Homo-oligomer: A and B are copies of this chain.
């Protein structure tokens, strides 16, 4: 494969999971003229029909092996825990030269696992476009979802370098900035800046809802912003945090230590300790680069 302009065309593309990300990928590919035919595959016929009605996909099937027949590009956009079984199921139907990638929020050993499942001549490259948000479903999909945001590529030593270059060019063609890092580093970072913060946001809502639900009527913009990510799909996020369990647990325990410091300072009425902890956080938060196009 050559990452030049001609090679960046995939006559037949298969997308597994036509939700916000899968649907947006299909729309974006088409808008940028990077494919001719898009096959959608998923578990729910009603959703696939809706996606076809909306013009997101051209054909659909609920049978993975049928879906990938003759495909040049395959995108995994189902929940992360489904990836291995899905690929095991369709691998023998992949044609030579097929490129497989994904939108999974967790990488870790999955990348090596899926690389190990690729038949001769087909290549897998791990991708994590930092796009999405708390909306879900193909109705929420949009062709510009990926524009201006980053896509993390997670090659291993076994990743085909030409395939990596094509996948990078593909996301770039959809308007993304690509960044490479190894799968374990990816998982450490996203446990801290995304996976655990989702856990914390869900827990923050529950803290109020279970103590005194009437208080929620007084939540202002601070609480709303702090808990926006608690609107994210629970089934998706339990899968993500379990798939990245050890790194999320590490963050959760570190957060508990931070919380215990504040609790101790409150108990001791130690104004200085509180101000030091809050100031450190304020400084670090102020130093965040503006990556507001990275949506999750």
**A residues whose Cβ falls under 8 Å from a Cβ of B:** 130, 133, 149-150, 152, 188-190, 192-194, 196-235, 237-239, 241-242, 245, 248-256, 258-260, 262-263, 266-267, 269, 271, 274-275, 277-282, 284-289, 291-296
Q: Which residue of B lies closest to A271 (CB)?
A: B238
How far is it, in angstroms, between the C-alpha of A249 and the C-alpha of B207 when the chains are bound? 12
Q: Are B249 and A255 in contact (CB under 8 A)?
A: no
Q: Known A-B contacts: A150-B220, A200-B226, A256-B259. Give 12 more (CB < 8 A).
A: A130-B218, A192-B212, A193-B215, A203-B259, A203-B262, A206-B277, A217-B289, A218-B294, A230-B285, A231-B285, A238-B278, A242-B269
- Tell me which of B150, B238, B245, B262 contacts A199 (CB under 8 A): B262
Copies of this protein in the assembly total 2
- Tell me which of B189, B202, B216, B291 contacts A215 (CB under 8 A): B189
Query: Which B residues are CB-close (under 8 A) to A294?
Result: 218-221
**Could you write out 22 A-B pairs with CB less than 8 Å apart?**
A133-B221, A188-B212, A192-B208, A193-B215, A193-B216, A196-B207, A197-B226, A199-B262, A202-B282, A206-B277, A206-B281, A210-B280, A211-B251, A216-B284, A220-B294, A224-B291, A225-B225, A237-B274, A241-B274, A242-B266, A245-B269, A248-B266
Kindly provide the distance from the CB of A103 to the nearest chain B CB, expressed in whole angstroms.
14
Query: Which B residues are CB-close (under 8 A) to A228?
Result: 222, 225-226
Query: Which B residues are CB-close (under 8 A) to A220?
Result: 130, 149-150, 193-194, 291, 294-296
Query: Which B residues are CB-close (under 8 A) to A199?
Result: 259, 262
Q: Are B237 and A278 in contact (CB under 8 A)?
A: yes
Query: Which B residues are CB-close (under 8 A) to A252?
Result: 259, 262-263, 266
Q: Are B221 and A193 in contact (CB under 8 A)?
A: no
Q: Are A219 and B291 in contact (CB under 8 A)?
A: yes
Query: Which B residues are CB-close (under 8 A) to A277?
Result: 202-203, 206
How far is it, in angstroms, between the C-alpha of A64 and the C-alpha of B238 when the chains are bound? 56
Kindly provide the distance from the CB of A72 to the nearest chain B CB, expressed in whole angstroms.
30
A245-B266, A266-B241 as given contacts; A208 in contact with B226, CB under 8 Å = no
Query: Which B residues are CB-close (under 8 A) to A229?
Result: 222, 225-226
Q: Which residue of B lies closest to A179 (CB)?
A: B218
Q: Are B279 and A222 in contact (CB under 8 A)?
A: no
- Tell me which of B193, B254, B260, B295 contacts A218 (CB under 8 A): B193
A208-B192, A221-B296 as given contacts; A263 in contact with B271, CB under 8 Å = no
How far is it, in angstroms, between the C-alpha of A238 and the C-alpha of B213 when the chains are bound? 26
Kindly provide the distance from the CB of A290 to the nearest chain B CB, expressed in whole angstroms.
9
